[in-house]
């Protein structure tokens, strides 16, 4: 069933776990995530990132995500990830998205606040929740971006930001990075605990792929209630296709797609077992 971001975060709070938010850039991803959530009987978030528009146009993948969520036997939030344009956000809300992340992290503080407030004003009357980001990750969602390194979120500023914007969830920067890690990430998980204590909000871990199970567990204990996970799932599909092509000559693309889907489902299950503490 389709539920709001607030509701899915409430479920995570109740279980003292983090709900997985998986970017679904095609039908195989949608099915890999939802089949796994159904099999394990877990709430889940399907995400679409604005930066993937060329791979998965919003008006094509959005209705697939919303309809699949409505028909799922488990609670599913359909979420817009890293949205930098309020017009784009309006289109997602019109399609029935139940959560949106406004990402003004690269903007000056006041501008980030102003746009995030507008996002809240747009989403809330429709029953959709809003996540926003403060601080900067080492790499943007597209893997490029602030290669200068992360800008950690200042706890005091986070308190002010939450008060100024009235958001439902906060994505602080504490050392994770988008994409595939080239070296072991060094996370400031104490910072997570402090921000959580001061804001009382559910926190979101971006760049959730490639973090150690131990760090996931500490992050959840310290207040992370949503973990964005994509790169390693997608890469599991790529590796499975490569192995298949090395073994046999495949004629039909749907055989490659299905192989990728099954491999992604396996990877999603592994991630979910950690996020939901199974």
Stretch that binds Zn ion, among 58-66, 133-141, 195-203, 240-248 (CB under 5 A): 133-141
Backbone angles phi, psi at 77, to 5 degrees: -100, 135
CA distance 238 to 161: 39
The token duo for 71 is 């028909």
The token duo for 182 is 């080239």
Q: Minimum distance from CB of 207 to Zn ion (Å)?
A: 6
Cβ atoms of 142 and 181 within 8 Å: the answer is no
111 or 142: whose CB is closer to Zn ion? Answer: 142
DSSP strands (E only) in the chain: 19-23, 44-49, 76-83, 99-102, 129-134, 169-172, 203-205, 224-229
**How many other CB atoms are found less than 10 A from the CB of residue 179?**
21
**How many other CB atoms are found less than 10 A from the CB of residue 157?**
15
50 or 228: whose CB is closer to Zn ion? Answer: 228
Q: Nearest CA to 233 among 18, 26, 15?
A: 26
195 or 256: whose CB is closer to Zn ion? Answer: 195
**48 touching Zn ion, by CB under 5 A:** no
Is 81 a catalytic site residue? yes
Q: Which residue is nearest to Zn ion (CB)?
A: 206
Q: Minimum distance from CB of 81 to Zn ion (Å)?
A: 6
Stretch that binds Zn ion, among 156-164, 204-212, 213-221, 234-242 (CB under 5 A): 204-212
Name the active-site residue from 41, 81, 188, 255.
Answer: 81
72 or 178: whose CB is closer to Zn ion? Answer: 178
Q: Minimum distance from CB of 150 to Zn ion (Å)?
A: 12
CA distance 208 to 228: 5
How long, in residues, is the chain? 278
147 or 278: whose CB is closer to Zn ion? Answer: 147
* Close Cβ partners of 274 (under 8 Å, ≥ 6 residues apart): 213, 216, 217
172 or 223: whose CB is closer to Zn ion? Answer: 172
Chosen residue from 31, 79, 206, 226 binding Zn ion by CB under 5 A: 206
Stretch that binds Zn ion, among 58-66, 142-150, 152-160, 205-213 (CB under 5 A): 205-213
φ/ψ region of 41 (left if φ > 0, alpha if ψ in -120 to 50, else beta) reads left
Cβ atoms of 172 and 195 within 8 Å: the answer is yes
* Cα of 188 vs its chain's centroid, Å: 20
Site for Zn ion in 215-274 (CB under 5 A): 228
Site for Zn ion in 141-180 (CB under 5 A): 141
Stretch that binds Zn ion, among 37-45, 136-144, 145-153, 268-276 (CB under 5 A): 136-144
Binding site for Zn ion (CB under 5 A): 141, 206, 228
Annotated catalytic residues are 81
């Amino acid at each position: 069933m389709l539920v709001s971001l607030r509701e899915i975060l409430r479920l995570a709070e109740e279980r003292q776990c983090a709900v997985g938010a998986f970017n679904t850039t095609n039908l195989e991803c949608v099915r890999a995530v939802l089949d796994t959530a159904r099999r394990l009987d877990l709430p889940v978030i399907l995400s679409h990132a604005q930066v993937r528009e060329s791979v998965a146009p919003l008006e094509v993948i959005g209705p697939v995500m919303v309809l699949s969520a409505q028909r799922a036997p488990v609670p599913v939030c359909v979420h817009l990830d890293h949205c930098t344009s309020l017009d784009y956000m309006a289109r997602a809300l019109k399609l029935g998205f139940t959560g949106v992340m406004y990402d003004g992290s690269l903007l000056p503080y006041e501008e980030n606040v102003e746009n995030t407030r507008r996002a809240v004003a747009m989403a809330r009357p429709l029953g959709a929740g809003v996540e926003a980001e403060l601080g900067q990750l080492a790499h943007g969602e597209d893997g490029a971006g602030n290669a200068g390194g992360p800008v950690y979120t200042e706890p005091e500023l986070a308190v002010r930001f939450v008060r100024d914007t009235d958001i439902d969830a906060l994505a602080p920067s504490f050392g994770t990075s988008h994409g595939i890690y080239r070296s072991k990430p060094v996370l400031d998980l104490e910072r997570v605990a402090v921000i959580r204590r001061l804001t009382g909000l559910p926190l979101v871990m971006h760049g959730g792929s490639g973090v150690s199970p131990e760090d996931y567990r500490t992050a959840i204990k310290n207040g992370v209630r949503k973990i964005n996970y994509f790169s390693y799932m997608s890469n599991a599909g790529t590796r499975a296709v490569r192995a298949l092509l090395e073994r046999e000559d495949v004629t039909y693309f749907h055989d490659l797609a299905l192989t990728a889907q099954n491999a992604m489902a396996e990877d999603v299950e592994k991630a979910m077992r950690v996020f939901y503490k199974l």
